[in-house]
Structure 1
Amino acid sequence: MSSSSSAAKDSILEFFVEAANKDDFSLDITLNVKGAVITGTLVSAQEYFHMLSETFEGGNETAQMVSDQLKKAGEASRTNDTEAHFLHMKDTKVYCGDSKPTPSKGKILWRGKLSEIDGFFLGKIFDSSDKER
């Protein structure tokens, strides 16, 4: 296997990510990544970094500095017109085998390389701990 084939990205998935980044588009999606199943909602890089920065707010000086840097990364991603390399998700659950998802509680953010995703389908996986909307 050549290194160029391992860096290939699914052009449809990349289109969804670029739409999220440019137009604040979101989409429930489930990914296959190296045998794991990752389910959640695709969000823009800006929303991802903003939500991640909130986890550090109200902390000590270092935590506040991290929060500020994450906010700046989010703003920079909004104006960045280069091709997408990462996918960002919120309300994420990771399934490995038939066990309960990890993590099973909380609003989990996830970031992954587009080139490492083996497959996807639209929609989220719900389990007994989820409340149907």
Structure 2
Amino acid sequence: MSSEAKDSILEFFVQAANKHDFTLDVTLNVKGSVISGTLVSAKDYFDALSENFEDGSDVAQRLSEELVKAGETVEENSNTEANFIHLKNTKVYCGDSKPTPSKGKILWRGKLSEVDGFFLGKISESKNSSK
């Protein structure tokens, strides 16, 4: 089996996000970790990432501009196959512990070929969970 094999259904969702500004709550299994968040377009991912650098030094502002350009390039090439998946409000679970990072609006990018499985919906932490 090729290491570049991708789930065609998940790739379809990613292309819908990239082409039609479609979002979807999804949870991924990636090499033993569980990644849960909201699927967004590559352009939205790069735009949100660029905001982290907007008000910084000259170098930070240049990074922000380059990230916006990267998002525009991806949007222009949205008819090509998708190789990466982008999530916002992401939580990463490794083992039976609290998610890492557990606070903040975390952006996540991963290779579609590395995703072992997925299900629709996000994992939500209940405030009163007991073990």
> Normalization by structure 1: what TM-score?
0.93
Q: Which runs of 5+ in 1 are unaligned?
A: none
Which of 98, 105, 108 in structure 2 is aligned with 1:110?
108
1:83 Cα deviation from its structure 2 partner: 0.5
Is 1:96 the equivalent of 2:85? no
1:73 alignment partner in structure 2? 70
**Over residues 16-56 of structure 1, what are the superposed CA-to-partner deviations in whole Å (9 max), with x where a residue is unaligned?**
00000000000000000000000000000000000000000
Unaligned 5+ runs, structure 2: none
Q: Distance in 2 between matches of 1:111 and 1:96?
A: 17
Match of 2:52 in 1: 55
1:82 deviates by: 1.2
Give RMSD over aligned pairs: 0.8
Secondary structure in 2 matching 1:64: helix
Q: Which amino acid aligns with 2:69?
A: K
Partner Cα separation in structure 2 for residue 92 and residue 128 of structure 1:
16
* Paired residue type of 2:87: M
CA offset digits 1:34-82 (Å, max 9, x no partner): 0000000000000000000000010000000000000000111111021
5 Å-filtered alignment, 1:82-93, equals 82-93=80-91
Displaced runs of 4+ in structure 1, greater than 4 A? none
Distance 2:44 2:83 in 1: 16
For 1:57, the aligned partner's letter is E
Cα displacement (A) at 1:98: 0.7
Task: Give the paired residue count.
Answer: 126
Task: Give, in angstroms, the shift of residue 128 of structure 1.
Answer: 2.8
Provide the TM-score with structure 2 as the length reference: 0.94
* 3-state DSSP of counterpart to 1:6: coil
In 2, Cα distance between equivalents of 1:64 and 1:30: 33
Match of 1:35 in 2: 32
